[in-house]
Amino acid sequence: MSCLEAFMERIFDEKKVAACIAKSKYYSILSTMDVDFYLIKYEKGEFVSSPFQTESLFQIVEQGSISIYIIRDDGTRHALSSGTTDYFLGDMDIFYPRSGDVYAEAAEPLTCIAFSIDKNRETLLSNNRFLALICSSLSSKIGTMTTLDAAPASLSERVMSYMKYKCDGGILKGVERAAFHLHCSARQLQRILNQSERAGLVKKTGKGTYKLCELE
């Protein structure tokens, strides 16, 4: 049994699966696909995808959030991305073998809509509406990464870019998690957020939660 399979819970109840698909923003496409959908529930800290995974799964975040990162040679984590509701995992795996260095981890209790890529590859590659959806997802991810890679070097500007391009609705939730993605300490990030709040750039909306004012 792989690390991925050791703790996650798979749910095959047709009514529960159908209810989650019906709530998805991709319902019009998912409802026409001839694949066997099921749900997977993860606890915080569990791997959603990892080099130890023994099967290729396509997963859509239905509830919760994930952190995506690589492990450097020195054992440290390097954040790549994060995702919340409607985020895709496995979109690259449809076309290419899975990268052995990328990890996706549940940042909180997580529920995903899932199906096997290996069992449905030919069906997926012949579905033009689904492929268009995947192309849109990949383009969005590449655009976000390119924008952040080109962002100015100062931490203050990086924080503003992070909130604008990687936080849903411009809302940063959780200072420690955001600090991990920004490759700084939580203390450094908190100082920047306090300064930005005084400058009217962000507004604190709750404990560890800040909203970018320009997106209001």
| pLDDT reported for residue 27 | 96
Domain range annotation of the chain: 9-148, 152-215
What are the DSSP calls for 117-162, one per residue? STTTHHHHHT-HHHHHHHHHHHHHHHHHHHHHHTS-SSHHHHHHHH
User: 8 Cβ partners below 8 Å, 6+ apart?
Assistant: 40, 41, 42, 46
Q: In what order do the strands lie in the sheet with 110-116?
A: 9-11, 38-42, 110-116, 57-63, 88-89
Characterise 86 by phi-psi region: left (phi > 0), alpha (psi -120 to 50), beta (else): left
Contacts of 156 (CB under 8 A, 6+ apart): 192, 195, 196
Quote the crossing angle between the two packed helices 155-166 and 175-182, to the nearest 10°.
110
What element of type H or E holds 21?
helix 14-23
SS3 104: strand
pLDDT tens digits, the chain, 216 residues: what are they?
444 445 789 999 999 999 999 999 999 999 999 999 999 999 999 999 888 787 889 999 999 999 888 877 666 677 788 889 999 999 888 887 665 678 899 999 999 999 999 999 999 999 999 999 999 888 877 766 665 555 556 888 889 888 887 788 899 999 988 888 888 889 999 999 999 999 999 999 999 999 999 876
Q: What span, in angstroms and rounded, lies between the C-alpha atoms of 160 and 166?
A: 10
**CATH superfamily assigned to domain 9-148:** Jelly Rolls (2.60.120.10)
Which residues face 211 on adjacent strands? 171, 203
Inter-residue contact 161 to 153 (CB < 8 Å)? no
- What per-residue confidence (pLDDT) applies to 50? 87
Level-2 CATH architecture, domain 152-215: Orthogonal Bundle (1.10)
185 C-beta neighbours (distance < 10 Å), count? 13
Exposed / middle / buried, residue 122 (Cβ in 10 Å: 0-12, 13-18, 19+): exposed
Can you give the pTM of this predicted structure? 0.69
Whole-number pLDDT of residue 148 = 56
Question: What local confidence, expressed as pLDDT, does residue 38 receive?
Answer: 97
